[in-house]
Structure 1
Amino acid sequence: MSRVPVSACPCGRTDARGKACAFDACCGRYIDHDTPAPDAESLMRSRYSAFVLGRVDHLAASWHASTRPADLTLEEGVKWLGLDVRSHRVIDADHAEVEFVARSRVAGRGQRLHERSRFVREAGRWFYVDGDLK
């Protein structure tokens, strides 16, 4: 898949001054350079960015093998509009939850995905396990 340059990170993370973080300094390092995300929230943000950019490779690689679907195909025509991270809860050193709302539009209709996702860390890498829709 060809790489399209992205300036501001699709995940919407901002720096201490409220300025949008650059993709390469934010999620790009996890998506394009195989750098392990330091925490579950960063991994979740990179997965959102991967959905926006159509990066199925990162979605598959960051999905825990026990719950990863055999075939991962993205829905056609989805326009991602934004991400709101509601909470990041560390359960213990290797387990965490992230609650978020991701907004999108499909065929002109607005949609809202509100999920509490579960993550596990194995061998120094965080993986998405599953989530509960709210």
Structure 2
Amino acid sequence: MPATHRSREKCKKSDDRGQTVLEYVGVVPMLIVIGLLVVQLGLAAFAVQQAGTASRAAARMASYDNPDRTCQQAGHDALSSSLSGRASFDCQRGSDEVTVTAKVPIPSLIPGLLDGFEAKRRATMPIDRIDR
């Protein structure tokens, strides 16, 4: 009896050979994709945050009577250097307030995947009038 018991154990061990490798091959690509998606989501959140900051800075500068730079320059200065070159700002001055819309392209981990997607934020500031 002990001989048959050993042969069954031997057979079981040889059947399980390679199972771990197959599990890794199946799981690792999913983990990589999930990791890339998490990082991409972080990049999108960063672009949205930067667009909000830049629109407020541009609106603040445009609200002054005698600004030292344009609202576009102030917006670009407020952005991270990696996003500044491709951002655009639309400054609209009304009678009592200034509204600036900032559009910042969302960077992509995989080139060409998110082309055309952008973070858009709007800020409105009252015009700062100096009475003389």
Q: Same fold (TM over 0.5)?
A: no
Per the normalisation by structure 1, the TM-score is: 0.29
Larger Rg, first or second structure (1 or 2): 2
Per residue, is there more strand in 1 or in 2? 1
Per residue, is there more helix in 1 or in 2? 2
Per the normalisation by structure 2, the TM-score is: 0.30
Greater relative contact order (CA < 8 Å, ≥ 6 in sequence): 2
